[in-house]
Amino acid sequence: MSVKSFREALNEAFRQEMRRDPAVVLLGEDISGGMGSGGEQDAWGGVLGTTKGLMPEFGRERVLDTPISESAFIGAAAGAAATGLRPVAQLMFVDFFGVCGDQIVNQMAKFRYMFGGNATTPVVVRALCGAGLRAASQHSQMLYPVFTHFPGLKVVIPSSPYEAKGLMIQAIRDDDPVIFLEHKAMLDDTEEVPDEAYAIPFGEARTWRDGEDITVVAFGRMVQFARQSAEKLAGEGISCAVVDPRTTSPLDTETILNSVRKTGRLVIVDEAYPRCGMAADISSIVAEQAFDALKAPVLKVTPPHTPVPFSAPLEDAYVPSPAKVEAAVRHVMQADRLAGAA
C-alpha cells in the first residue's frame, strides 16, 4: 500500500497487466511520444502522462503510437481483440469518439451478438472525460450515457485512484469491450492504493457512506462532491448514503434500490447532459421498482441542456458542485417535510 495519484494508479495497472499477459498492447496518439522525432523518446507518455515509462519497458511493439486516425486504430483495436490480442486503445479525449463512433458502437459492441456468440472482443477504449479545465465544448464532455445506451459495451467511470487501478485491471481482463473514462480533473488526486494487482468486479456499486435519510447516487468526480456534501450535511443532522455505481453498464440496481428502500429519498448527481442520461435512467428504475418506498420526488443534479462552455464563470455554473448537491438534498428533505405537514 502506498499513496498514489490517479495517474500513477492507472500506470501501475497497465504495467502489471502487461507483465502478466503478453497479449496486452497499448495503442494511441502520443501514448509514448517522440515517434520519428530527433528528441526524447517516451516524451509524453500520453497527453496527460498516464502511460509514461511503459514504452521503455515493453517496447514500441507493445506500446504503439498512432497517426491521428481514430477510426483506423480504434477499429484495429477491435479487430485485434477479436483475433487474439488484448488491446487498450486510448481515444485521447472522449469527445473524439465522434470520429470513430462506428467502430465502437456498430463494430466492437455488436460482434458477439450479431455473430451468435462466436466472437470475443476483449478491448478497452480509454479516454479522458469531464469538464473543469476550461477546455470548452469539444474537450470537456461526459459521455458515459452515450456508450451505456449501446448493448454490448461495458462502461466504467472510476471515482478515485484506488477505484481506477482495480477497475482498469478488471477492464483489461474482461472479455467484453469496455469503455473506460478517466476524469481529467482527477488525475492528480491521491490516495492509498495497494501495490499488488487487484480487480474490482463490474456491476458492483461501492457504498462510500451509509446513511439513513437520503441516498445520493453519483458518478466519477461527482462521487467526490457527493462525499463532501454528505460530510457537511451530517453536521446538520442529515444522514446521506453515497452510492457510486462504478460502472454504468452493467449497473448495480440492487444496491441503489436497497439504499432507496432504506432512506426513501434519492438525489442523483450526474456530470453528463441531463437528457437521456444516467440520472434519468436511475430515476426510472427507482420509479418502477421502489415507488412505494419514496417519501419525496427524486431530484437530479446535472448540468443544463447546453454544450460545455469555455469561460470560467460559465463552466463553473455548468458543472454540478458540492453546493448544488447540498441544496438538492435539503430541497428533497424539505419537500418531504412539506408533504408530511400537508
Partner 1 sequence: MTLMKLTKSQLLQAYRRMQTIRMFEERLHKEFATGEIPGFVHLYAGEETAAVGVCEHLTDADHIGSTHRGHGHCIAKGCDVMAMMKEIYGKRDGLCAGKGGSMHIADLSKGMLGANGIVGGGPPLACGAALTAKTNKTNGLAVAFFGDGGFNQGTTLESMNFARVHDLPVLFVLEDNGYAETTSSDWSIGGGDPVRRAEGFGIPGIRVDGHDFFAVYAAAKEAVEAIRSGSGPQFIHIEFTRYYGHFEGDAMTYRPPGEVKEERAFLDCLKFFRARVTQGGILTGEQLDEIDDEVEALISTAVAGAKAAPLPVEADLTTNVYLNY
Ligand X SMILES: Cc1ncc(C[n+]2csc(CCOP(=O)(O)OP(=O)(O)O)c2C)c(N)n1
Do 138 and 164 contact (CB within 8 A), yes or no?
A: no
CB under 6 A: which stretch of 92-100, 161-169, 222-230, 287-295 binds ligand X?
92-100
Site size toward partner 1 (CB under 8 A) is: 44
Among 80, 92, 104, 178, binds ligand X (CB under 6 A): 92
Among 173, 307, 327, 335, binds partner 1 (CB under 8 A): 307
CB nearer to partner 1: give 75 or 245.
Answer: 75
Tell me how crowded residue 141 is: count the other CB atoms within 10 A of its CB. Answer: 22
Residues 150 and 46: their CA atoms lie apart, in Å, by 27
Contact code string over 117-136 relative to partner 1, x by CB under 8 A: ----------------xxxx
Contact between 30 and partner 1 by CB under 8 A: the answer reads yes
Site size toward ligand X (CB under 6 A) is: 6
Among 44, 58, 73, 96, binds ligand X (CB under 6 A): 96
Q: Break the chain down into helix, strand, coil percent, rounded to 5.
A: 40, 20, 40
- How is 90-150 classified by DSSP, letter by letter? EEEEGGGHHHHHHIIIIIITTHHHHTTT------EEEEEE-S-SS--TTS----HHHHHTS
Q: Which cell is 268 given?
A: 442523483
SS3 323: helix
> Does 139 qualify as catalytic in the annotation?
yes
Residues 93 and 138: their CA atoms lie apart, in Å, by 9
Q: Which residues bind partner 1 (CB under 8 A)?
A: 29-30, 33-41, 43-44, 47, 65, 67-72, 95-96, 98-99, 133-139, 304-307, 309-314, 317-318
Q: Which residues bind ligand X (CB under 6 A)?
A: 29, 68, 70, 92, 96, 99
Active site residues: 139
